[in-house]
Amino acid sequence: MTIPNSEGFFPSDSCLPRAPAEEKDIIMELIRSSEASIKEGDLYYLVSHRWWMEWQEYVDLDQSDENSNEGIFCIPRRPGEIDNSNLLLNESVVEGNELDLKRSLQEGEDYSLVPQDAWKKLLEWYRGGPELPRKVISEGFITKKFNVEVYPLCLQLVDGRDKSQRTLKISRMASVRELYNMVCMLFELEKEKVSIWDYYNKTKHQFLNNFDQTLEEAQLLMDQEVLLEVQDDKLWPSNVSMSSAGNELALVPLEPSRSSVTIAGGPMLSNSYSTGFRSNFLEGGNFSSSQRDTEDRDDVLNNGIKVDGQGLTGLHNLGNTCFMNSALQCLVHTPPLVDYFLQDYSEEINKENPLGMQGELAIVFGELLRKLWSSGRTSVAPRAFKAKLARFAPQFSGYNQHDSQELLAFLLDGLHEDLNRVRSKPYIEAKDADGRPDDEFAEECWQNHKARNDSIIVDVCQGQYKSTLVCPVCSKVSVTFDPFMYLSLPLPSTATRTITVTVFSGDGSSLPMPFTVTVPKNGCCKDLIQALSTASCLKHTEALVLAEVYGNRIYRYLENSFESLSNIKDEEHIVAYRLPIHHEKLLRLEILHRRAEGFLSEPRYSAHLKLLGTPLVTTLSVDSRTGADIHAAVLSVLAPLLRANSLTWSHGDKSSRDSGSGPSLDSIVLSDNGIQCSEETLSTSDMELEEVHNSIPDIQLALADGKVISRSTVDVDYTVPVSRLKVVMNWSDREHEIYDFSFLEDLPEVFKSGFMSKKTRQEAITLYSCLEAFIKEEPLGPDDMWYCPRCKEHRQATKKLDLWRLPDILVVHLKRFSYSRFMKNKLDTFVNFPVHNLDLSKYVGHRESASSSLVYELYAISNHYGGLGGGHYSAFAKLLEEDSWFHFDDSHVSPVNENEIKKSAAYVLFYQRVGVESKMDVRETGISPDSSNF
DSSP E strand boundaries for 248-307: 249-251, 280-281, 292-294
Residue 214: DSSP 8-state: B
Task: Verify cis geometry, omega within 30 degrees of 0, for the bond prior to 130.
Answer: yes
When computed from its CA atoms, the radius of gyration of the chain, rounded to whole angstroms, is 36
Exposure pattern of 886-915 as b/e (b: 16+ CB <10 Å)? bbbbbbbbeeeeeeebbeebbbbbbbbbee
Catalytically active residues are 322, 872
Residues 628, 312: Cα–Cα separation, whole Å:
86
Q: What is the residue extent of each domain of the chain?
A: 20-62+74-90+99-149, 153-230, 496-597+611-642+697-744, 762-913
Q: Which CATH number fits domain 762-913: 3.20.20.105, 2.40.430.10, 3.90.70.10, 3.40.50.1370?
A: 3.90.70.10
Q: What angle do CA 127, 131, 136 make, to 5 degrees?
A: 130
Measured CA distances, 615 to 589, 726, 741 (Å): 10, 10, 12
Exposure pattern of 585-622 as b/e (b: 16+ CB <10 Å)? ebbbbbbbbbbbeeeeeeeeebeebeeebbbbbbbbee
Residues 398, 413: Cα–Cα separation, whole Å:
22
Q: Which CATH number fits domain 153-230: 3.30.70.260, 3.10.20.90, 3.30.1280.10, 3.40.50.300?
A: 3.10.20.90
- Specify the amino acid at residue 483: P
Domain 20-62+74-90+99-149 has CATH 3.40.50.920: no
Contact partners, residue 679, CB within 8 Å, separation at least 6 = 687, 688, 689, 708, 710, 715
Contact between 635 and 705 under an 8 Å Cβ cutoff? The reply is: no
Question: In the chain, which residues have pLDDT < 50?
Answer: 1-14, 63-73, 92-96, 233-308, 598-607, 647-720, 755-762, 820-823, 919-934
Q: What angle do CA 294, 296, 301 make, to 5 degrees?
A: 150
Q: How would you classify the pairing of strands 855-865 and 906-913?
A: antiparallel
Q: How confident is the model at residue 232, as a pLDDT?
A: 66
For residue 343, how many other CB atoms are within 10 A of its CB?
14
Q: What is the largest CA-CA distance in the chain?
A: 124
| φ, ψ at 857 (rounded to 5°) | -120, 135
Contact between 401 and 269 under an 8 Å Cβ cutoff? The reply is: yes
The CATH topology of domain 496-597+611-642+697-744 is: Ubiquitin-like (UB roll) (3.10.20)
Q: Which of 121, 114, 97, 100 is nearest to 46 (CA)?
A: 114
Q: Which of 182, 425, 562 is nearest to 196 (CA)?
A: 182
Q: What string of DSSP letters covers 594-652?
A: EE-S---S-GGGGGG--EEEEEEEEEE-TT--SHHHHHHHHHHHHGGGB-TTSPP--TT
Q: Is 864 buried (19+), middle (13-18) or exposed (0-12) by CB count in 10 A?
A: buried
Residues 856, 833: Cα–Cα separation, whole Å:
12
Contact partners, residue 576, CB within 8 Å, separation at least 6 = 501, 502, 503, 504, 529, 532, 536, 544, 545, 546, 547
Q: Is 694 buried (19+), middle (13-18) or exposed (0-12) by CB count in 10 A?
A: middle
pTM for this prediction? 0.58
Q: How confident is the model at residue 339, as a pLDDT?
A: 93
Domains 20-62+74-90+99-149 and 762-913 equal at CATH topology level: no
Q: How confident is the model at residue 252, as a pLDDT?
A: 31
Q: How confident is the model at residue 458, as a pLDDT?
A: 95
Coil vs helix vs strand at 898? helix
| φ, ψ at 535 (rounded to 5°) | -65, -35
Q: How confident is the model at residue 534, as a pLDDT?
A: 87
